[in-house]
């Protein structure tokens, strides 16, 4: 499946309402209490399990707020497509926040595709269009695991849209594959990469804590051909 960000949001755009400014809202900071190293592993897991629910709900509310933004602007015809994309993204995040029966498993592929595609359609636009390739195998997880996996994908895609293509557009690929007793979420781009001076930031902490809920390490490295590759290796069974 391929998707390209809608270019209409870049025309006639109010300087305060660019894709670059709006996407900052979709990577909310983590409070110091969420990364308290004095907490036991069980306490950290419980804390982040609850935090992931709130994070999904907040993202749903943010996306929904974009739907209504055009009503508060004098000339916002260019926001029509953005509103439709934001509405679909809000619905996906709201579904992600829903709690299910403990231990019950549910499919991940459709929801993962909707979130990833929605983000690129909403923010991968303007003078730096981002082309998405998304290939996702079906994987059944508990609601907590699915939420953590999709939020990890969301964070990785948001990071790519924010930082990978500072001057030109590019390509972004999201895959969920099986490799023996593991499932792998792979997010890679052909952008500028991490670079030798890169340091772990707020986004890295969020990813590491969410990965803890999956017992799945995250590997992030520059690609030899250019760009960044992130892999989440999730043990099955």
**Better pLDDT: 34 or 123:** 123
The alpha carbon of residue 58 and the mean position of all alpha carbons in its chain are separated, in whole angstroms, by 13
What's the pLDDT tens digit per position in 91-120? 888 888 887 788 889 999 999 999 999 889
Structure tokens at 151: 């939020």
| Low-confidence winner among 60-74, 117-131, 212-226 (lowest mean pLDDT) | 60-74
Q: Which residues contact 216 (CB under 8 A, 6 or more apart)?
A: 232, 233, 234, 235
- C-beta separation of 176 from 139 below 8 A: yes
**Cβ-Cβ contacts under 8 Å for 170 (sequence gap 6 or more):** 128, 130, 131, 164, 189, 190, 191, 227
Q: What does the alpha-carbon distance between residue 183 and residue 178 come to, in Å, rounded to a whole number? A: 4
Q: Look up the pTM and report it.
A: 0.77
Three-class SS state of 83: helix
CA distances from 126 to 113, 120, 121, 168 (A): 22, 11, 11, 10
Asked whether the predicted pLDDT for residue 47 surpasses 90, the reply is no
Listed in sequence order, the DSSP H helices in 36-171 are 41-69, 80-97, 109-123, 143-163
- The contacts of residue 236 (CB under 8 Å, 6+ apart) are 178, 181, 182, 183
pLDDT for position 177: 97
Q: What's the CA gap between 86 and 70, in Å, rounded? A: 12
> What secondary structure letter does DSSP report for 214?
T
Per-residue pLDDT tens for 158-168?
899 888 998 88
């Amino acid at each position: 499946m391929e998707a390209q960000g809608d270019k209409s949001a870049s025309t006639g755009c109010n300087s305060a309402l660019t894709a670059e400014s709006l996407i900052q809202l979709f990577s909310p900071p983590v409070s110091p209490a969420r990364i308290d190293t004095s907490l036991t592993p069980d306490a950290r897991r419980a804390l982040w399990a609850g935090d992931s629910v709130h994070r999904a709900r907040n993202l749903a509310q943010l996306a929904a707020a974009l739907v209504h933004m055009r009503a508060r602007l004098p000339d916002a015809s260019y926001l029509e497509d953005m509103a439709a994309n934001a509405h679909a993204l809000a619905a996906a995040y709201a579904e992600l926040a829903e709690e299910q029966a403990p231990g019950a498993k549910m499919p991940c592929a459709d929801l993962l595709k909707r979130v990833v595609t929605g983000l690129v359609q909403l923010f991968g636009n303007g003078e730096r269009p981002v082309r998405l390739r998304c290939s996702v195998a079906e994987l059944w997880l508990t609601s907590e695991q699915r939420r953590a996996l999709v939020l990890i994908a969301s964070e990785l895609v948001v990071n790519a849209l924010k930082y990978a293509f500072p001057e030109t557009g590019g390509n972004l690929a999201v895959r969920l594959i099986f490799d023996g007793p593991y499932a792998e979420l792979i997010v890679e781009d052909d952008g500028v990469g991490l670079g030798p001076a890169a340091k772990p930031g707020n986004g890295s902490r969020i990813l590491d804590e969410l990965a803890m809920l999956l017992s799945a390490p995250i590997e992030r490295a520059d690609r030899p051909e250019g760009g960044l590759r992130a892999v989440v290796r999730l043990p099955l069974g």
